[in-house]
Amino acid sequence: MATMMNSTVFGTVVPHKNPTILRPLPCSLEELFCGKVKNYTHEKKIYDSSGKTFTVHKSTLQIYLKPGWKAGTKITFPKEGDVIPNIEPADLEIVIEEEPHPLFMRENNNLILRKNISLLQALVGFSFSVPYLDGSEFAVDVESLTFPLTPKVVQGKGYLSQRDGSAGNLVIFFNILWPKVLTEEQKSILKKGPLSECEYLGLL
């Protein structure tokens, strides 16, 4: 068990306090987007006056996730540490962690999506449905040409800023997939088609 050690400040005996206890709370990107009340099961030891035997006390702490909270956000429950005679119980700090998501990544208040598209889609445009963090779906239409390394930004579809209440963006990066093989006949059709007539960006 912990040692009993007191400090003296200006002649007054101040009970020793153990260092703050940090505990991670993994949250999904959906939970941090929508907000949620999460339960956290907390255990602490309560020592008797001898300081040698203890009972374990289990409690459920409720954490009110606010929409937009980030990894690293801390919620403090004061004096939730073990109860030991002559020692002030430590504080408990719950630290928000972001769980990996199968589709999205988060960068600050932006939501990042990577999507494979074919070369044809990159040239002629396309639309697709995004299964969103609040359970809804919405359509993204890309009418113009998609250039390599140039993301599509959907304004306001990111996380709420805790600082000023503004919304981040959904940033979609496209991975343009290439034809596996083209036959000689296909090549000769392409040579006579639109790609032989159009103007190219920066061709010397």
Give me the residues that bind its own copies (CB under 8 A), please. Answer: 116, 118-120, 123-125, 145, 147-148, 176-183, 186-191, 193-204
* Closest distance of CB 157 from its own copies, Å: 23
Residues 6+ apart with CB under 8 A from 108: 70, 159, 168
**Between 138 and 147, CB nearer to its own copies:** 147
**Between 52 and 192, CB nearer to its own copies:** 192
Q: Answer for the pair 71, 159: CB distance below 8 angstroms, yes or no.
A: no
* Closest distance of CB 174 from its own copies, Å: 12
* Closest distance of CB 178 from its own copies, Å: 5
**Between 13 and 182, CB nearer to its own copies:** 182
Q: Where are the strands (E) in 78-158, listed by range?
A: 87-88, 92-98, 104-107, 110-118, 126-131, 137-142, 152-154
Distance between CA atoms of 145 and 140, rounded to whole angstroms?
Answer: 14
**Between 10 and 178, CB nearer to its own copies:** 178
Q: Answer for the pair 85, 144: CB distance below 8 angstroms, yes or no.
A: no
